[in-house]
C-alpha cells in the first residue's frame, strides 16, 4: 500500500506505454462511473 504514496523518482525514465495505459485506465473508470450514474438516474425515474 505504501508503494502508491512514495515520491516519484526523477531519475526514472518516463515510459510512453505506461502513460498510455494510465490514460486508458482513467477513461475506463470515468466511463464506468458515468454508466453507474446514468443507470441510477434511470432506475430513479422509473419509480
Annotate the chain with three-state secondary structure. Answer: CHHHHCCCCCCCCCCHHHHHHHHHHHHHHHHHHHHHHHHHHHHHHHC
Instruction: Please give the average pLDDT of every successive group of 10 residues along the chain, which has 47 residues.
Output: 64 80 94 98 91
Tell me what pLDDT residue 36 has.
Answer: 98
CA distance readout (Å), 15 to 2, 12, 22, 39: 22, 9, 11, 36
pTM of the full structure: 0.64
Tell me what pLDDT residue 3 has.
Answer: 60
Tell me what pLDDT residue 5 has.
Answer: 66
The residue whose grid cell reads 518516463 is 14
Rounded Cα gap, residues 36 and 39, in angstroms: 5
Amino acid at each position: 500500500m505504501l508503494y502508491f504514496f512514495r515520491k516519484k523518482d526523477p531519475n526514472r525514465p518516463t515510459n510512453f506505454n505506461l502513460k498510455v495505459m494510465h490514460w486508458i485506465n482513467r477513461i475506463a473508470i470515468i466511463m464506468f462511473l458515468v454508466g453507474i450514474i446514468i443507470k441510477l438516474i434511470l432506475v430513479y425515474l422509473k419509480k
